[in-house]
Amino acid sequence: MLIDASRATLLVIDVQEKLIGAVSDPAGTLARTRWLLAATAELGLPTVISEQYPKGLGPTVASLLEAAPQAQVVEKLHFSCVAGECLPASLLAREQVIVCGMETHVCVLQTVFELLESGKQVFVVADACDSRTVESKVAGLERMRGAGAQIVTREMVLFELMRSSSHEKFRILSKTFLVGEQP
């Protein structure tokens, strides 16, 4: 199944100030997540950003909020956004959820499993996920794939949302996000 812009939403999980330094590739994770947020914002994709206990772990990294100023930010205490009941009706109304964030094997995994259980089609953006160790990230991605999530990359998301080079945003997006060295 392909990602459909009219049926999809983006969920970015817990890329927060006090957590980012603990993952295996903090700079790369930030750059790739910012790329995904900016590209999908250009396409007008509805976006939700979760924060795990922001009083203790800090807010979402500011550069991510700047990349997607229209994103709705929600707070949670549960590891899963579903169990935390923080997801807005606008996200839950869509059939497809594109997910990225951290940590892959904890909050991302638990959210993805519960989204799948609720009947959603879930696409996990592997290159915009991270964990404290590469092994934990890989194990989390493998479990999610085994449970029925589609494992994708940022470019797959972008091209599937546009579907054609005749898309009205193709030229600007290809020049901005597909030319030169990308994160």
Domains of the chain: which residue ranges? 8-177
Instruction: Tell me if residue 18 is catalytic.
Output: no
Whether the Cβ atoms of residue 72 and residue 47 lie closer than 8 Å to each other: yes
Q: Check 81, 86, 100, 107 and give the catalytic one.
A: 107
Which DSSP symbol is given to 179? Answer: S
> How many residues belong to the chain?
183
CATH of domain 8-177: 3.40.50.850
Instruction: Tell me if residue 86 is catalytic.
Output: no
Q: Is 37 helix (H, G, I), strand (E, B) or coil?
A: helix
Q: State the pLDDT at residue 183.
A: 86
Q: State the pLDDT at residue 143.
A: 98
Q: Check 76, 81, 100, 129 and give the catalytic one.
A: 76
Given a cut of 70, the residues of the chain with pLDDT beneath it are none
Whether the Cβ atoms of residue 37 and residue 47 lie closer than 8 Å to each other: yes
CA distance 54 to 175: 36
CA 115 to chain centre: 13
Q: Check 14, 86, 129, 137 and give the catalytic one.
A: 14
Q: State the pLDDT at residue 182.
A: 84
CA distance 166 to 155: 17
